[in-house]
Structure 1
Amino acid sequence: MLAIPPGIDPDLLRSFVLIAEGGSFTRAASAVGRTQSAVSMQIRRLEETLGQPLLLRGPRGVETTPHGIWLLERARRLLAMHDEIVTTFRTPAVAGTVRLGTPDDYALRWLPGILARFAQVHPAVEVEVTCAPSNELVDRLVRDEIDLTLLSGGNERPGMMGQPLWRAGLRWIGSAGHATHRRAPMPLATAQPGCVWHSAAVRALDEAGIPWRVAYTSTSQMGTLAPTLAGLAVTIGLPGPLPPGLRFLGPEEGMPPLPDFSIVLVTGDIGGPVVDTLAEAIRAGFAEAAVTQA
């Protein structure tokens, strides 16, 4: 069994991992609730304990030394085991079923890791996941068909308190092998008109004076990517890795800027320990992703 060697404080390893993954002392300090100078002192203590330099400030920011690269993989495993032990003994046991809603593209990108860690710590909780567009998920939440849900910001009903989890700019997506964006009118693959992404796309095109038509509609991200991959339409989506054959389109292709959007977490009126525990796990998972992806 892996164990933290004597003399190494897990807090030092945690700060080291956050800096190595995020490339920034400032972001790591914010994540652990310390000042930047305090985090720098932690890294100095860790390097003195191990007798080797682990991080270097280079022209591209903070870089990991060969010894640091070796340590990073092992530190991740040690901290995962450490956190699992602490959480298991400190977290009150919860059991039952919780119903989670999410758009399909959020489910694929963020939820696998979050739900896997949640299941390890709370094996007696059954999570039922419903994938649907944000506007449908709001209706289901109101009807008490789900307990909490991820939404694209802007879909909340009046009086709903959505907690922001993530924010970034929307991106135009086109085929890597076709110039579909040059067609007039430009064919779009989007969700239904009530979708905030659809509204953002057509507003941007209208303001830029670019004619467009809706060629394909789908309630899922994969349903809009398929005709885009075939060169039959242009769509919009999240920043991040794209399937082979697709590319982001920007000003150099004549595409107008798109607004920022947010992912929010909304819970229903009827909560409870199981709902609150899953909500906290989701918030923690997005917070961790924000540090490592920044």
Structure 2
Amino acid sequence: MTILDVESVQAFVAIADFQSFTRAAEALGTTQGAISVKLKRLEDRIGQRLIERTPRSVRLSAQGALFLDGARDFLAAHERAVAGLTDCRRRFTLGIAAHVAGPEVPTLLARLNVHDPGLTIEVRLDNSRTLLDAFDRGELDAAIIRREDDRRDGEILGPEHFAWFATPHFEHRQGEPVRLAALAPSCGVRDIATRALDARSIPWTEVFLGGSSSMVTAAVSAGLAIGAFSCRLAPPGTVEVGQRFGLPELPSSEIVLHSTLTDAKSRGALRTLAAAFREHRVTAG
């Protein structure tokens, strides 16, 4: 019978998540050499090469890809067993920007729960600036937001591209103000859109100002206005209309993860969160 040790499997999953021995070592609070030793121990024990490493890339082998889900289940079972020894539940407060939260959110929360069944997850949705201020005040353990212009810190989770969307039969006459639906004036995506219009001297008017992203989505889907959305979060049934109406191209941004947590348990949760977000984007793409 092949007996697996937890640390070796943790090392393998971290390498798979980050596609980097260095970043995996940082996440697990150890050295690159130690990570390599643990991976070799695991590969020797199961008699399969799990990771293919070249000077330019680190990726799963065919056997590693087959083993990954089982490895995650193995670690989850270990976490549940350890969590069962204590009634102490920890709280994790996560902020997610309204213009970032999408279909991957259930995946993120499910992965966090599997990683740490003793974790109470509290999610707060708001605009990026409000969440960043809350994070700086220590009210959030972590925040996934659109990068703000004045901040260069945070772990990049992926690019974010924006465009103009409306229903296929929406009409806009040249020379008339662009009819916009947007979130409150503090919304960063609204700022991106209105600055782009102002830079081209294109008149605009807000015909719908929503209190939530779902309300703005509903207004655009109903054909009331044009909206600026992340390309991955465009309302169902809408189409990109920037070129059709001569609207300016919207600049791209980045989605970043902010956190100052340093203990091993929390770092593991953050690594799980980041990996789940990236994996969902790759699958969706």
Q: Same fold (TM over 0.5)?
A: yes
Amino acid across the alignment from 1:114:
L
Q: Which of the residues 71, 76, 99 maps onto 1:82?
A: 71
Q: Identify the residue that residue 206 of structure 2 maps to in structure 1.
A: 214
The whole-number CA distance in structure 2 between the counterparts of 1:39 and 1:280 is 17
Q: For 1:137, what is the secondary structure of its paired residue?
A: helix
Q: Identify the residue that residue 112 of structure 1 maps to in structure 2.
A: 106
Q: Which of the residues 223, 240, 257 maps onto 1:231?
A: 223
Q: 1:150-229 alignment to 2 at 5 Å?
A: 150-154=144-148, 161-180=153-172, 184-229=176-221
Q: Identify the residue that residue 22 of structure 1 maps to in structure 2.
A: none
Amino acid across the alignment from 1:103:
A
Q: For 1:257, what is the secondary structure of its paired residue?
A: coil
Structure 1 unmatched runs, 5+: 1-10, 16-31, 47-74
Cα deviation, residue 138, structure 1: 1.7
Of all paired residues, the percent bearing the same amino acid is 26
Q: For 2:239, what is the secondary structure of its paired residue?
A: strand
Q: 1:206-285 alignment to 2 at 5 Å?
A: 206-240=198-232, 242-268=234-260, 271-285=262-276
Q: Is the 8 A contact 1:180 1:234 kept in 2?
A: no
Aligned residues: 233
Q: Deviations over 1:147-199 (max 9, x none)?
A: 11111111665xx7221111032111112232247571111112233332122
When structure 1 is superposed on structure 2, of 106-115 and 240-249 the one drifting more is 240-249
The whole-number CA distance in structure 2 between the counterparts of 1:292 and 1:234 is 28
Q: Deviations over 1:10-41 (max 9, x none)?
A: x9xxx9xxxxxxxxxxxxxxxx6634999999
Cα deviation, residue 222, structure 1: 1.3
Q: Identify the residue that residue 124 of structure 1 maps to in structure 2.
A: 118
When structure 1 is superposed on structure 2, of 147-156 and 131-140 the one drifting more is 147-156
Q: Identify the residue that residue 53 of structure 2 maps to in structure 1.
A: 34
Structure 2 unmatched runs, 5+: 1-11, 17-50, 84-88
Q: For 1:252, what is the secondary structure of its paired residue?
A: coil
The whole-number CA distance in structure 1 between the counterparts of 2:92 and 2:52 is 31
Superposition RMSD on alpha carbons, in Å?
3.6
Q: Deviations over 1:97-133 (max 9, x none)?
A: 1111112343332221121122123111111111111
The whole-number CA distance in structure 2 between the counterparts of 1:232 and 1:204 is 21
Amino acid across the alignment from 1:238:
S
The whole-number CA distance in structure 2 between the counterparts of 1:102 and 1:41 is 30
Q: Identify the residue that residue 19 of structure 1 maps to in structure 2.
A: none
Cα deviation, residue 241, structure 1: 6.0
Q: Identify the residue that residue 7 of structure 1 maps to in structure 2.
A: none
Amino acid across the alignment from 1:277:
G
The whole-number CA distance in structure 1 between the counterparts of 2:163 and 2:104 is 18
The whole-number CA distance in structure 1 between the counterparts of 2:137 and 2:215 is 27
The whole-number CA distance in structure 2 between the counterparts of 1:131 and 1:181 is 36
Q: Is the 8 A contact 1:125 1:274 kept in 2?
A: no
The whole-number CA distance in structure 1 between the counterparts of 2:59 and 2:139 is 48
Cα deviation, residue 279, structure 1: 1.4
